[in-house]
Amino acid sequence: MTPKQDTIYAEPNQQIDKFSFDVNVAGVFDDMIKRSIPGYSTIIQTIGDMAYKFVKPETNVYDLGCSLGTATISLRRNIQHPNSRIIAVDSSQSMIERCYENINAYKSSTEVELICCDIRDVDINNASMVVLNFTLQFLDPSDRRALIQKIYNGLNPGGVLVLSEKLKFNDEIIQQHLDSQHLDFKRANGYSELEISQKRTALEDVMRTDTLETHQQRMNECGFQHFNIWFQCFNFASMVAIK
């Protein structure tokens, strides 16, 4: 089925509300994320490839900020062991409802537990893989370290964290260049100048990005000794940390 087209910011708005993962966004999210994040499909595919390699029998796999379940479905398709379990979490009720339908559209022997709650309140234990695919950037910056620490503590030795994020750059010239390439990507995917600028306003103070150096330092401080970026397209990156 072709996803419903994202026209949320297509008409001029008198007042632009803060971006939220409400029923309107959930209804067009498949289309929105594919047209907004360069490399999204590659990252989803590779999360599946990593699940094949990293997920061990009798362990938990977490998809934190699962939205419509795209990463969960990729994980589940690639897990080799029937006796592992995916715990998919999102705080948006509208996302969770649609995610439930998407997950149940496929049969699989891997159980998925869907939880509607804040990822800061979820217990992480006996994990062989944790996915934060473009979710950490929406968390209050002062809560990020505690979340990464909780993930580190809940991972088994040899377990993996996949962290995908929009990046910020200290170098102003690089920041401007990569941002303009991202805007060209959105234009090429059919977004108008009005859509781009209204969404940008809505995302201010809602999505706060970190530099790669901040991510690296936080990972190290939480105990991860093996960390690197495995994918980057413009200002979007996916990183891997192994315990």
Ligand X SMILES: Nc1ncnc2c1ncn2[C@@H]1O[C@H](C[S@+](CC[C@H]([NH3+])C(=O)[O-])CC(=O)[O-])[C@@H](O)[C@H]1O
Ligand Y SMILES: O=C(O)C(=O)Cc1ccccc1
For binding to ligand X (CB under 6 A), which residues are involved?
A: 21, 33, 65-67, 70-71, 89-92, 95, 118-120, 133-135, 138-139
Residue nearest to ligand Y (CB): 36
Question: Can you spell out the DSSP letters for 153-202?
Answer: HHEEEEEEEEEEEEEE-SSHHHHHHHHHHHHHHHHHTT--HHHHHHHHHH
Report d(CA 44, CA 131) in Å as an integer: 10
Query: Does residue number 98 form part of the binding site for ligand Y (CB under 6 A)?
Result: no
Residue in the block written with tokens 């940390």: 241
- 40 is annotated as contributing to ligand binding: yes
199 binds, among ligand X, ligand Y, none (CB under 5 to 8 A by kind): ligand Y
The one of ligand X, ligand Y, none whose footprint includes residue 67, by CB under 5 to 8 A per kind, is ligand X
Cβ 22 to ligand X shortest distance, Å: 9
CA distance 95 to 69: 9
Region near ligand Y per CB under 6 A, out of 31-39, 50-58, 73-81, 105-113: 31-39
Residue that is written with structure tokens 């649609």 in the block: 98
How far is it, in rounded angstroms, from Cα 2 to Cα 206? 29
User: What are the binding residues for S-adenosyl-L-methionine?
Assistant: 40, 65-67, 118-119, 133, 200
Which residues in this chain contact ligand Y in the complex, by CB under 6 A? 32-33, 36-37, 166, 199, 203, 207
